[in-house]
Amino acid sequence: MTFAELGLNPAILSAITACGYTIPTPIQEQSIPLVLAGNDVIATAQTGTGKTAAFVLPALELLTKKSILPGKGPRILVLAPTRELAGQVMESARNYGRGIRPRCGTLLGGMPYREQLRLLSAPVDIIVATPGRLVDHIERGSIRLDRLEMLVLDEADRMLDMGFSEDINKIVDRTPTNRQTLMFTATMEGDIALLAEKMMREPKRVQLAVSTSSHALIEQRLHVTDNLNHKKELLDHLVRDVELTRAIIFSATKRDADELSRELSRNGFPAAALHGDMTQMARNKTIDRMRRGGIRLLVATDVAARGLDVNGVSHVINFDLPRFAEDYVHRIGRTGRAGATGVAISFASAGERNYLERIERFIGKKLPELQIDGLEPKTSIRKPVGRSSAPRKSGSGAPSTRFGKPGVGRDSQAKPWSKSAKPAGSAPRPPKVRHEPVIEYRSRRPQA
């Protein structure tokens, strides 16, 4: 199917062509006709599948027809969980809408009110907002939603996870009941079904397979780790790989993100942190630096990286496993985007076994486990059944300093070196370890 066959306006079609898109992605192909026909639609799709265009394009199509309602409130409202994601939706609306020039803007928490009030003082077509700030505007009386034709909840599951349920209800209460409602979510679990039931009219369902179709181009690997120092050593090893051109490293906490990025920078790797404690300006600056190639390694938390759209991310490294399986899918979706291949590497210590099992159940397969000579785990999460060798890639040009403080951690401990990796009797590990005896573990069916 082509975009033209979807029945979109020529002005929108030429903007799509200018973006370099030739055919719709599966989520676009399935959702756009349903939305254009006026249905409420609930779509289960991850970032990286082209879901933004799946709602922005029909929303723009709607704007090609004049509104008969008086007033200046938005005709289209998109709610998004984070400022980054909202910013990217707005950017998409501007890109795809360049031929019809919609009046649009964002209402985001943490940003000055003055500009937002100016935006709302004139008629507007599309508003992309984070729920909290929109509720502020509703309560101040600075926005009215009685002209609204389409409400989109992007990453609805995430908004509920983040506690926006009450805000969403307040917003929905202010919108006309005959609006069209679209919901995009990674999962239908939890309160999502309830929310959909409450706010949607006979929604059509669009569902994309989670792992197989959207992540076919991502190679997923697991490294079992013993402790924090082991993780740091593995990370140090991995970031020296020449094939790692740009990586997002996920850590569990904001503090860890700061600490890791500092350590990486100290060791000569251009790195920066991205987390929710940073001002919006600092976050934007960091994302821009990454896009322009000034940062090779971005150490991020889930919330900050949600919806992050940086092309050319060769690797995603889960320094810590996410607590929610859906987050795993979101994280690895930062790589392997728009037809490129990518590598997603996860570290898992014994304490994260539950998270690992949850993830494997969710994606419906076991992550293949790899080991690196000299950096094998002492603990195991599963039993190895075989081993094969592959040469280490070298010559990253990165300094040879080891990650972490000298003399601290595993380097300073007596370590039983793997016989296959090193000749017996050699005491300290050589500065450059050989890459990468691969161990495929016997696939054990995930527990139900």
Name the residues that contact ligand AMP, by CB under 6 A: 21, 24-25, 28, 47-53, 309, 337-338
In 208-284, the DSSP E strands lie at 218-225, 247-250, 271-274
Query: At its nearest, how many Å lie between ligand AMP and the CB of residue 194?
Result: 25
| Rounded least distance, CB 121 to ligand AMP, Å | 30
Q: Which residues contact 65 (CB under 8 A, 6 or more apart)?
A: none
CA pair distance 354, 350, nearest whole angstrom: 9
User: CA triplet 24, 30, 31: central angle to 5 degrees?
Assistant: 95
Shortest Å distance, C-beta 21 to ligand AMP: 4
180 touches 202 (CB < 8 A): no
Distance CA 149, CA 59 (A): 9
Residue 144 CB, shortest distance to ligand AMP, in Å, is: 29
- The amino acid sitting at 56 is V
Q: How far apart are CB 419 and ligand AMP at their closest, in Å?
A: 46
Nearest approach in angstroms of CB 309 to ligand AMP is 5
- CA geometry: angle 152, 154, 160, nearest 5 deg: 110
CB 126 within 8 A of CB 93: yes
In this complex, which beta carbon is closest to ligand AMP, that of residue 46 or of residue 180? 46
Amino acid at 170: K
d(CA 448, CA 428): 44
At position 363, the amino acid (one-letter code) is I
CB-nearer residue toward ligand AMP: 83 or 137: 83
Q: Which residue, 338 or 408, has its beta carbon nearer to ligand AMP?
A: 338
Cβ proximity to ligand AMP, 51 vs 137, nearer residue: 51
* Residue 210: CB minimum distance to ligand AMP, A: 14
| 88 versus 261: smaller Cβ distance to ligand AMP | 88
Alpha helix positions (H), 113-178: 113-120, 131-140, 156-161, 165-173
- Residue closer to ligand AMP, measured from CB, 56 or 297: 56
Cross-strand partners of 247: 297, 315
* Mutual angle of helices 26-36 and 51-63, in 10-degree steps: 30
* DSSP code of residue 431: S
Could you give phi then psi for residue 246, rounded to 5 degrees?
-155, 125
For residue 441, the minimal CB distance to ligand AMP (Å) is 32
CB of 185 or CB of 225, closer to ligand AMP: 185
Q: In terms of CB distance, is 51 or 83 closer to ligand AMP?
A: 51
- Across the chain, how many H-helices and E-strands are there? 15, 13
Judged by beta carbon, residue 337 or residue 366, the one nearer ligand AMP is: 337
Find the shortest distance in angstroms from Cβ 51 to ligand AMP. Answer: 5
Task: List the structure tokens of 201.
Answer: 């009219």
CA distance 152 to 77: 6
